[in-house]
């Protein structure tokens, strides 16, 4: 018999039970559900809403149920619909009528709102640490490749010289923002909804502050209608995870390009590559490809939840049961992608010579050539035109700016002299970009210091910074 069956004269159809049940996926919140129930029972006993001895009996039995779940002695069925009713049913089975008193001054509406907040607060901490690990891998690569020159691109065309360290720190900065987005989300999630009842609170003299403190919440929710119908914190989390996955997907795209024969900038370790069933020569970048593909999966979770919530009136509606699967799936997907990507970066081989060779082609020092003329007094737009003509000359003669004869330079602008070759050397071009945020080694060291400080201030556990 269902706990809510008093109003009904017929049993629900089996197909309805299957559609209605969420126990197959919300069972993962059993710890949070039991923790919340323990805090609630303790408060009921302290306030005299139930006998103190009954509260103690409930709390003790809930501890036994937790032990049995974790030992695999207790399993769940669809008969009890969800994790809340499963645990309450088991509690009542074990201690009788006393167990029925647990749900006093509580609804499943505020109970599930509590459980999902507690669960996601903990998951955010774990995901944040995984992102910090990935940032640590990027720091390690950056420290080793401060002077590894490579081309930077716009429109996937070689544009200007940079370093591999500068490139990695760009992604580290993206991930830094992802961490702060998760922290902001967690801060807004840190409100305790229990005590909101089904939608308008309760007539019992409960102590919401006591429960919030015991469960580690900073504050209680301010409005009971909002508390049971709010899923903004899930949407915000999915948006933050989607943004983070977008960053991983962009880096995945770069890795896929860089490890191709056309680029050969990096070589993936065998442990983080796969082969072909028919082409024995292949070494495929399946890991970054999967991360790129799973980004769409996380996006789908965000769109799912936005669509579920967009037309719902206050307060709770059964549609909201559809929040958990996409949220859980997104969390699980991110937790799978982050550590494997970290290990992929820690084991790649960076092909410095190939990067330097590519940087030497494509006229990526053309802007520096123009800047040389500007420093000689020529207006930049005139210098831009002069260098454009030089590039055309080089293309006609199969030359680069570094190999073009000085006479050819002087033919288009007498300001050129022997020092042009030093000015357009790729290492010089990088070193002279010695402005905050630039690729000059000293500037990248500052970026590394900043991100290292960011990680150190947030680490819950020690991190291996690079290799």
Full set of structural domains in the chain with CATH: 5-104 (1.10.275.10), 109-202+216-357 (1.20.200.10), 366-424 (1.10.40.30)
Sign of CA dihedral 137, 332, 108, 316: positive
Which pairs with CB-CB distance under 8 Å and at least 24 residues apart come from 370-374?
371/423, 372/416, 372/420, 372/423, 372/424, 373/413, 373/415, 373/416
Q: What are phi and psi of 36, to 5 degrees?
A: -65, -40
Question: CA geometry: angle at 80 spanning 77 and 84, to 5°?
Answer: 110
pLDDT in tens, the chain (467 residues): 555 556 666 776 777 767 878 899 999 999 999 999 999 999 999 999 999 999 999 999 999 999 999 999 998 887 788 999 999 999 999 999 999 999 999 999 999 999 999 999 999 999 999 999 999 999 999 999 999 999 999 999 999 999 999 999 999 999 999 999 999 999 999 999 999 999 999 999 999 999 999 999 999 999 999 999 999 999 999 999 999 999 999 999 999 999 999 999 999 999 999 998 899 888 999 999 999 999 999 999 999 999 999 999 999 999 999 999 999 999 999 999 999 999 999 999 999 999 999 999 889 999 999 999 999 999 999 999 999 999 999 999 999 999 999 999 999 999 999 999 999 999 999 999 999 999 999 999 999 999 999 999 886 443 333 32
Burial 160-169 (b: 16+ CB within 10 A, else e): bbbbbbbbbb
pLDDT at residue number 5: 59
Q: How many DSSP H helices and E strands does the chain contain?
A: 20, 6
Q: Cβ neighbours of residue 449 under 8 Å, at least 6 residues apart?
A: none
Do 189 and 117 meet the contact criterion of CB atoms below 8 Å apart?
yes
CA distance 161 to 352: 14
Active site residues: 155, 276
CA distance 425 to 212: 63
Inter-CA distances, 225 with 123, 130, 194, 201, 296, Å: 26, 35, 12, 8, 33
Question: If you write DSSP's letter for every residue of 111-123 in order, what string do you get?
Answer: HHHHHHHHHHHHH
CA distance 141 to 254: 15
Peptide bond into 140 cis (omega under 30): no
CA distance 431 to 429: 6
CA distance 199 to 14: 29
CA distance 88 to 81: 11
pLDDT at residue number 20: 75
Q: What are phi and psi of 151, to 5 degrees?
A: -80, 140
pLDDT at residue number 16: 73
Phi-psi region of 365 (alpha: psi -120 to 50; beta: other; left: phi over 0): alpha
pTM: 0.92
CA distance 439 to 110: 52
Do 152 and 161 meet the contact criterion of CB atoms below 8 Å apart?
yes
pLDDT at residue number 462: 38
Q: What would you measure as the largest C-alpha separation in the chain, in angstroms? A: 100
Inter-CA distances, 150 with 106, 198, 350, 401, 444, Å: 62, 60, 11, 17, 15
CA distance 79 to 381: 76
CA distance 346 to 416: 45
CA nearest to 135, candidates 244, 241, 297, 236? 244
Return the SS3 of 205.
coil
Q: What are phi and psi of 266, to 5 degrees?
A: -135, 160
């Amino acid at each position: 018999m269902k706990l809510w069956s008093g109003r009904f004269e017929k049993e629900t159809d089996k197909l309805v039970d299957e559609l209605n049940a969420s126990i197959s996926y919300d069972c993962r919140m059993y710890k949070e559900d039991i923790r919340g129930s323990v805090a609630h029972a303790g408060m009921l006993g302290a306030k005299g809403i139930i006998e103190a001895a009954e509260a103690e009996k409930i709390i003790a039995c809930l501890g036994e149920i937790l032990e049995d779940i974790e030992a695999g002695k207790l399993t769940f069925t669809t008969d009890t619909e969800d994790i809340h009713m499963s645990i309450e049913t088991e509690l009542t089975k074990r201690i009788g009528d006393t167990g029925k008193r647990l749900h006093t001054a509580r609804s499943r509406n505020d109970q599930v709102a509590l459980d999902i907040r507690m669960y996601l607060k903990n998951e955010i901490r774990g995901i944040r640490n995984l992102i910090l690990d990935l940032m640590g891998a990027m720091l390690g690569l950056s420290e080793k490749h401060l002077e590894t020159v490579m081309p930077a691109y716009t429109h996937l065309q070689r544009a200007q010289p940079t370093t591999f360290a500068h490139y990695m720190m760009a992604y580290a900065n993206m991930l830094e923002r992802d961490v702060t987005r998760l922290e902001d989300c967690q801060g807004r999630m840190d409100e305790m909804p229990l005590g909101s009842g089904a939608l308008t609170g309760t007539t019992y003299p409960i102590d919401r502050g006591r429960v919030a403190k015991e469960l580690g919440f900073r504050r209680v929710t301010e409005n009971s209608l909002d508390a049971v119908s709010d899923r903004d914190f899930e949407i915000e989390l999915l948006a933050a995870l989607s943004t983070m996955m977008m960053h991983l997907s962009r880096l995945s795209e770069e890795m896929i390009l860089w490890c191709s024969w056309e680029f050969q900038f990096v070589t993936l370790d065998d442990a983080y590559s796969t082969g072909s069933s028919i082409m024995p020569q292949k070494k495929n970048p399946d890991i970054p490809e999967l991360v790129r593909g799973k980004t769409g999966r996380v996006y789908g979770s965000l769109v799912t939840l936005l669509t579920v919530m967009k037309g719902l009136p206050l307060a709770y509606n059964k549609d909201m049961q559809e929040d958990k699967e996409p949220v859980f799936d997104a969390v699980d997907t991110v937790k799978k992608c982050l550590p494997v990507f970290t290990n992929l970066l820690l084991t790649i081989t960076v092909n410095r010579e190939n990067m330097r060779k590519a940087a030497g082609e494509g006229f990526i020092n053309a802007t520096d050539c123009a800047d040389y003329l500007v420093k000689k007094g020529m207006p930049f737009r005139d210098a831009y035109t002069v260098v454009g003509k030089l590039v055309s000359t080089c293309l006609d003669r199969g030359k680069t700016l570094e190999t073009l004869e000085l006479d050819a330079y002087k033919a288009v602008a007498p300001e050129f002299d022997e020092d042009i070759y030093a000015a357009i050397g790729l290492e010089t071009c990088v070193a002279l970009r010695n402005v905050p945020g630039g690729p000059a080694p000293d500037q990248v060291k500052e970026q590394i210091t900043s991100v290292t400080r960011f990680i150190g201030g947030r680490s819950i556990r020690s991190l291996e910074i690079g290799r």
